[in-house]
Amino acid sequence: MTIVQICYVAFLCVFLVLVILVFMNQSFERFKLPNGMRVIFVPEPQNVATTILVLVEAGSKYETKDLNGLSHFLEHMCFKGTEERPKAIDISGELDGLGAEYNAFTSQEYTGYYVKVAANKSEQALDIISDLYMNPVFDATEIEKEKGVIIEELNMYEDMPHRKVHDLLMEALYGDQPAGWDIGGRKEVIKKITRDDFLKYRGEHYVASATAIVVAGAFDSNLFKKKIEGNFEKLTKGKKVGKVATSEKQSKPIIKTQYKKSDQTHLVIACRAFDTYDDRRFALEVLSDILGGGMSSRLFQRVREELGAAYYVRSEVNLFTDHGYLGIAAGVDHKKFSIVVSAILDELKKLAKESVSEAELKRAKDHLVGRLMLGLETSDALATYFGGQEILKQKIVSPKDIIRHVNQVKSSDILVIAREFFVNSKLALSVIGPYKDSTNIAPIFRFR
């Protein structure tokens, strides 16, 4: 190595150590407003930015089939005008004028609205994000126009098979129930949604007890406490409407295909697991990292380096409040599809038969810890980390505690989980590519 390379490596090592020291001891403050709304402050006086994130327990799993997509549509409409800022340009123009990054997102179980700005613009940003959350007008004309936008967003995802294949997996695993529905909804439903639907749904779900706000970065805590209390004091205390529990029924491998002319086949192989509250989640994360957490992972080496069959192959854990799964995604050469599926199943079988070596276990743990620490560098990442836990669990596990749990995982924990969940009765596959049905896939998709 050259002197420059040595110095660069040394810098990275020192930087990582400093990041770990800072975030292992990351402080936060959690309190409630008189109306029951939760507030989390994650102060970083040295930061140049501030992120404000408002989360609400409202997502596609809270919908009925005839209103599937309403949660996501409502998120769009909050940016279309408020009482104080009646037009979309009034909101976007003011935020752009602050040099802000801003957006919103909808998942199965919650919706989020955020803005990230230079710290000296944080008070104005708070006022805007509070206004669009508290005071949307749901103008009927804007609703009709936005239907076209939503439909084009759905069309866009149809043209992104590497993303759409994950929606197809949820349908395969959970079928015709909220957990199996598309978060964006169906076009025929979107076209029928009315202003009254928005008002009713918002009244049932956008209540104080189901709302949390996170402020991370550089800000004046005392000032923000007063402003948040004032901005959100009128948020209703109404009782939150719940969601239907997810039902899981399976006795053999499930396969769901979607025909599409494409240059590669996109697939996700999944195994049902458990919910986000299960203590085994740390062992599952380590297992997932061993499988497909980086370029040294088993699947990357097997599928990309040895077979030369894919550009991307990765493993991830997705856990919700009442269900969860481990999923392995890849985009592969059509001609090597069967070989790749067999190779992935073979790697799963190995984990259920043979204990992971201590060296591989340590590498996976270090990889997870490093990604966690580096992933918490920014104010928006911190806001998401603390807010995501608060809205789902109403309990915060610090980075330090997560590292401790990860480092406590043993090879025997990996073996137990693999043997319990890598079985045919928990196996599912979603495929987008030139396959009109699963006739030729079914014979190869099972553990033997």
Are 132 and 226 in the same domain?
yes
Residue 11 inside a domain? The answer is no
Are 77 and 143 in the same domain?
yes
Using alpha carbons only, what angle is made at residue 39 by residues 34 and 45, rounded to the nearest 5 degrees?
A: 135
Are 283 and 188 in the same domain?
no
Structural domain tally of the chain?
Answer: 2
The DSSP bridge pattern shows strands 211-217 and 49-56 to be: antiparallel
Decide if pLDDT at 211 tops 80.
yes
Are 56 and 200 in the same domain?
yes
C-beta of residue 198 within 8 angstroms of C-beta of residue 70: yes
C-beta of residue 46 within 8 angstroms of C-beta of residue 218: yes
Are 111 and 144 in the same domain?
yes
- pLDDT at 24 (0 to 100): 53
| Percent with pLDDT over 70 in the chain | 94
317, β-bridge pairs: 326
- pLDDT at 27 (0 to 100): 87
Q: Which of 202, 232, 262 is the last residue of a domain?
A: 232
C-beta of residue 40 within 8 angstroms of C-beta of residue 386: yes
Are 199 and 272 in the same domain?
no
pLDDT in tens, 355-368: 999 999 999 999 99
Is 120 exposed, middle or buried, given 0-12, 13-18 or 19+ CB atoms closer than 10 A? exposed
DSSP class of residue 56?
Answer: E
Q: Is 144 a residue of the active site?
A: no
pLDDT band at 238 (very low <50, low <70, confident <90, very high): confident
C-beta of residue 91 within 8 angstroms of C-beta of residue 85: yes
Mean pLDDT, the chain, whole residue set: 94
Are 218 and 330 in the same domain?
no
The candidate with the shortest Cα–Cα distance to 97, out of 115, 109, 111, 79, is 115
Spatial separation of the C-alpha atoms in residues 313 and 301, rounded to whole Å: 10
pLDDT in tens, 170-191: 999 999 999 999 999 999 999 9
Overall size of the chain counted in residues: 448
| 432 vs 19 pLDDT, higher one | 432
C-beta of residue 170 within 8 angstroms of C-beta of residue 246: no
Residue whose structure tokens are 């923000």: 224
pLDDT band at 18 (very low <50, low <70, confident <90, very high): very low
Q: Which of 200, 232, 264 is the last residue of a domain?
A: 232
Are 228 and 267 in the same domain?
no
Are 287 and 363 in the same domain?
yes
Residue 238 inside a domain? The answer is no
Decide if pLDDT at 198 tops 90.
yes
Residue 401 inside a domain? The answer is yes
412-430 average pLDDT score: 98
Using alpha carbons only, what angle is made at residue 157 by residues 102 and 446, rounded to the nearest 5 degrees?
A: 120
Phi, psi of 278 (to 5 degrees): -75, 130
pLDDT in tens, 266-310: 999 999 999 999 999 999 999 999 999 999 999 999 999 999 999
Number of neighbouring beta carbons within 10 Å of residue 125: 25
- pLDDT at 1 (0 to 100): 47
Residue 239 inside a domain? The answer is no
Residue 6 inside a domain? The answer is no
- pLDDT at 13 (0 to 100): 44
104, β-bridge pairs: 113
124-140 average pLDDT score: 98
The DSSP bridge pattern shows strands 38-43 and 265-272 to be: unpaired
- pLDDT at 25 (0 to 100): 60
Q: How far, in Å, are 4, 255, 338, 445 from residue 440 at the CA level?
A: 55, 11, 9, 10
- pLDDT at 393 (0 to 100): 84
Are 217 and 352 in the same domain?
no
The DSSP bridge pattern shows strands 254-259 and 427-433 to be: parallel
Are 223 and 262 in the same domain?
no
Order of strands across the sheet that contains 49-56: 29-32, 38-43, 211-217, 49-56, 111-118, 101-106
Residue 448 inside a domain? The answer is no
Are 223 and 324 in the same domain?
no
421-430 average pLDDT score: 98
430, β-bridge pairs: 256, 268
**Annotated active-site residue in 75, 142, 171, 316:** 75
**Tokens at residue 181, please?**
């529905």
H or E segment at 109? none
What is the extent of the structural domain holding 282? 254-433
Q: What CATH number is attached to the domain comprising 300?
A: 3.30.830.10
pLDDT band at 80 (very low <50, low <70, confident <90, very high): very high
The candidate with the shortest Cα–Cα distance to 139, out of 58, 82, 184, 205, is 82
Stated pTM of the model: 0.92
Residue 12 inside a domain? The answer is no
- pLDDT at 246 (0 to 100): 97
Spatial separation of the C-alpha atoms in residues 132 and 265, rounded to whole Å: 41
Residue 7 inside a domain? The answer is no
Q: Which of 232, 265, 295 is the last residue of a domain?
A: 232
In single-letter form, the type of residue at position 182 comes to D
